[in-house]
Structure 1
Amino acid sequence: MEPIRVAVPRKGRPLEAVLERVARSGFEETADEIISTLRYEKAITKGERTDERTVYERLASYSDLSTPEQPEFTLFRDARKGMPRRIVFDSITLPFGDRRLQLVGREEPLRALRKHEFALGFDSADLVLEEIVSLADEPLRSLQAVNERISPSDTDVRLVTGLGDTVHHTLLARPNVLDSPDQPLDRAFISDYSGPLCVSPRYERLVEATLGSKAVEGVEFTYPEEGQEEEAAIAECGLGVYLTVTGSTAREHGLLIGERLFPSETVLLSNVSEMSAAAESFVEQFLATSELETAMPPSQ
């Protein structure tokens, strides 16, 4: 019987969020092995660790192709200076009830679903906002509202649930940008604001979706210079949007922490036209074991 195939990122926080859910399903050792291997390889790529073995020797030591229940890794050409080869996740097959679940690494799982290569996948909610939600005057405030902004004529992909590994896209500003110390730094402030707003280049459409098209009519997007920290660039600009957890780095740059605009987390996605009975069963079991408030029916 064919396994249930689910597209997952090859590396990074979204993949770790998926693996943490895998760990809670009884595969803690396997998940920990994959996460620790990828973190080690990331450190080598960034020059923080060294290893006398070649990248091919390390790859051979990590992957056991004779056993599908063991993780497989592959090589990816990293975009960093010199374009080094980086070891990333490839796949693993695990027992899932009376079937098997195969997690398959993809550079952009959302796009693999859009191309009907998979019925299910995990990816960042950010990419969903950047690629498939429609822009409107009203701001997009929550994961629950995402499917209402996806046109059925554009794509069959829908958001099923979030995994809860949440950080937030947050308004940040220097105090002197506000008219008074008591003025809230929120969407209403942006609606009345005209001037520069600093964002990461890839977040321009996301920011417009979460603030609302009408609110950004007087806004001029600016971007950090190459190699510049986002918080430093926002402090230089005066106002911006960036991901925050505690806000400590922003405060170190003299920035006020404003309204949380939208959760940035890993989400389960489905291509509704590709869903099979096995895929539906996976979604039902996944949601049944989810303790997350963001869960929603896959048919939305």
Structure 2
Amino acid sequence: MTETVCVAVPRKGRPLEAVLDRFAASADAAQVADDITSTLRHEKSITKGTTHPDHDVYDRLADYSDLSDPFAPEYTLLRDDREGMPRRVVFDSVTIEVDGTPVHLVGREEPFRALRTHEFALGFDSADLVLEEVVQLREDGVGSLADINARIDPMDTDVRVVSGLGDTVYHTLMAKPEVLPPGADLDREFVAEYDGPLCISPRYERLVEAVLGTRPLENISFAYPEESVEEESAIADVGLGVYLTMTGSTARDYGLVLGEHLFPSETVLMENVAETTAAVEHVAQAITGPELETELVV
């Protein structure tokens, strides 16, 4: 019997949708991927209060999970961190076939950490978490996914990044125009010469240190947005900052200039090399494919 490969995946949100899109393209799983995405988007709208269901969350959960079908998706309940901490239906698991190998996608709150503790050989999570937790801080910064593995201490973890999924938003430099000297570019070189506050989200402090490098930050102090204040608004008050952008429209609304895309915030496939088997490698290759531009060499 062919070995089933278990893969840790996020329980909800954009990263899970990126994973499902990849499996839909790599296996005959387009319908189940679409069903999961549609279900979770519906549940998100209920949690946000924009949709008002006829049935309570337990009835909906029973409707979604068909335990009589081994290939049907399963869901579970999670306490959402919104006001009142409502129960939210999130993804639990599903089994699909990838190039002849059964693959069990298992929802985890922190897939990256599940790989670090050797619960899984393969998993998907944000590249941000790798920078926040295991990438070594050096004088020079990290500029791309391809730089990550060289910055991981093999004594610290057996996890390596295999590829990105392309669901990219960027950690981007932003500034008020008056902060920039005439003709200056808003890039890493500007930050290296800058002396003053840099506004960032508190959770991204170590990530920003890894991306920019410790040397350019020697004369910089971090400033943080107050609770309930939009990051772009806080950056406009400080003058210079780093935040995630997709279109940059909100930043422009606050009069900010968009500068260099410092690092892609992207869902990545990761592998625990100590747990790798022939079946795991087979699935990893089937998921990525030789034509994938963001594929990395482990």
8 Å Cα contact 2:22/2:287 also seen in 1? no
Percentage of pairs with the same residue: 61
* Aligned-partner SS, 1:208: helix
Q: What 5-or-longer segments of structure 1 have no aligned partner?
A: none
- 1:78-97 equivalences under 5 Å are 78-97=80-99
What is the CA deviation profile of residues 26-61 of structure 1, one whole-angstrom value per residue up to 9, with x for unaligned ones? 322111111111111111111121112111011011
* Aligned-partner SS, 1:135: coil
Supply the AA of the counterpart residue of 1:192. E
Deviation above 4 Å: which 4+ runs of structure 1?
A: none
> How many equivalent residue pairs?
296
- Counterpart of 1:296 in structure 2 is 296
Supply the AA of the counterpart residue of 2:165. L
In structure 2, C-alpha distance between the alignment counterparts of 1:287 and 1:54, rounded to whole Å: 39
- 1:242-257 equivalences under 5 Å are 242-257=243-258
- Counterpart of 2:275 in structure 1 is 274
- Counterpart of 2:138 in structure 1 is 136
What is the CA deviation profile of residues 207-265 of structure 1, one whole-angstrom value per residue up to 9, with x for unaligned ones? 11111111111111111111211111111111110111221111111000101100111
In structure 1, C-alpha distance between the alignment counterparts of 2:52 and 2:43, rounded to whole Å: 9
* Aligned-partner SS, 2:178: helix
* Aligned-partner SS, 2:124: strand
Structure 1 residue 194: Cα displacement: 1.5
Supply the AA of the counterpart residue of 2:213. G
8 Å Cα contact 1:164/1:292 also seen in 2? no
- 1:1-300 equivalences under 5 Å are 1=1, 2-25=3-26, 26-180=28-182, 182-288=183-289, 291-297=291-297, 300=298
TM-score (norm 2): 0.97
Structure 1 residue 22: Cα displacement: 1.8
8 Å Cα contact 2:128/2:207 also seen in 1? yes
Q: What 5-or-longer segments of structure 2 have no aligned partner?
A: none
What is the CA deviation profile of residues 172-229 of structure 1, one whole-angstrom value per residue up to 9, with x for unaligned ones? 000011122x110011111111211111111111111111111111111111111211
What is the CA deviation profile of residues 64-90 of structure 1, one whole-angstrom value per residue up to 9, with x for unaligned ones? 111121110000111112111111000
In structure 2, C-alpha distance between the alignment counterparts of 1:229 and 1:217, rounded to whole Å: 26
* Aligned-partner SS, 2:72: coil
* Aligned-partner SS, 2:148: helix
* Aligned-partner SS, 1:273: helix
* Aligned-partner SS, 2:96: strand
Q: Between 90-99 and 21-30, report the one with greater CA deviation.
A: 21-30
In structure 1, C-alpha distance between the alignment counterparts of 2:99 and 2:186, rounded to whole Å: 49
TM-score (norm 1): 0.96
In structure 1, C-alpha distance between the alignment counterparts of 2:282 and 2:194, rounded to whole Å: 48
Supply the AA of the counterpart residue of 2:117. K
Supply the AA of the counterpart residue of 1:205. R
* Aligned-partner SS, 2:106: strand
In structure 2, C-alpha distance between the alignment counterparts of 1:227 and 1:27, rounded to whole Å: 40
